[in-house]
Amino acid sequence: MSDPRRLYFLDWARIGAFALLIAYHVGMYYVSWDWHVKSPNASAALEPLMRLSEPWRMGLLFLVSGAATSLLLARGGASRSFMRARSSRLLLPLLAGMAIVVPPQAYFEVIDKVGYAGSYLDFLSLYFSGYGGFCRGNDCLVLPTWNHLWFLPYLFFYTLLLWAVLRRWPEAIDGLAAMLARRLAGAGLWLAPLAVLAVLRLLLLSRFESTHALIDDWHNHAVYGFLFLLGVGLVREPALFNRMADRRWFALLTALSCWGLLLWYHAAFSESAPPPHWLRLLQRVVYATLQWTAIIAVLGFARRHLDVDHRWRAPLNEAVFPCYILHQTLIVLAAVGLRGLQLPVLLEAPLLLALAFGGGLLGWRLLRHVPALQPWFGMAAGARDRLPSQPD
Find out whether the peptide bond into 144 is cis, omega within 30 degrees of 0: yes
CA 330-334-337 angle, 5° bins: 145
**Contact indicator for 240, 303 with CB cutoff of 8 Å:** no
CA dist., res. 288 & res. 55, Å (int): 8
Mean pLDDT, the chain, rounded, equals 94
Inform me whether the pLDDT recorded for 5 exceeds 80.
no
pLDDT band at 77 (very low <50, low <70, confident <90, very high): confident
- The dihedral sign for the CA sequence 299, 305, 308, 311: negative
With cut-offs at 50, 70 and 90, classify the pLDDT of residue 389.
Answer: very low
Mean pLDDT of 293-299: 98
CA distance 144 to 124: 9
**Does the pLDDT value for residue 185 go beyond 70?**
yes
Which pLDDT value is given to residue 384?
A: 58
- Give the pLDDT score at 2: 39
Q: Quick check: helix, strand or coil at residue 139?
A: strand
pLDDT in tens, 311-335: 999 999 999 999 999 999 999 999 9
CA angle 35, 196, 182 (to 5 degrees): 135
Question: What value does the mean pLDDT take over residues 334-359?
Answer: 97
DSSP 8-state class, residue 147: G
* Extents of the domains making up the chain: 8-102+146-385, 103-145
In one-letter notation, the amino acid at residue 339 is R
pLDDT of residue 383: 61
The 3-state DSSP composition of the chain as helix, strand, coil percent (nearest 5) reads 70, 0, 30
Q: From the centroid of its chain, how far is CA 139?
A: 24
Residues sharing a CB contact under 8 Å with residue 345, sequence separation 6 or more, in sequence order? 30, 39, 41
Residue in 36, 23, 31, 26 with CA at minimum distance from that of residue 48 = 31
For 156-218, give the DSSP string: HHHHHHHHHHHHH-TTHHHHHHHHHHHHTSTTHHHHHHHHHHHHHHHHHTTTS-----SSS-H
pTM: 0.94
What is the Cα–Cα distance from 184 to 277, expressed in whole angstroms?
32
39-55: average pLDDT: 96
Determine contact, residues 29/264, Cβ cutoff 8 Å: no
pLDDT band with cut points at 50, 70 and 90 for residue 138: confident
Q: Any idea which of 98-112, 348-362, 378-392 has the lowest mean pLDDT?
A: 378-392
CA atoms of 388 and 111, how far apart (whole Å): 40
Stretch 280-295: mean pLDDT, rounded? Answer: 98
Q: Which residue type sits at 41?
A: N
* pLDDT of 228 over the 50 cut: yes
Asked whether residue 3 carries a pLDDT value surpassing 60, the answer given is: no
pLDDT bin (cut points 50, 70, 90) of residue 213 is very high
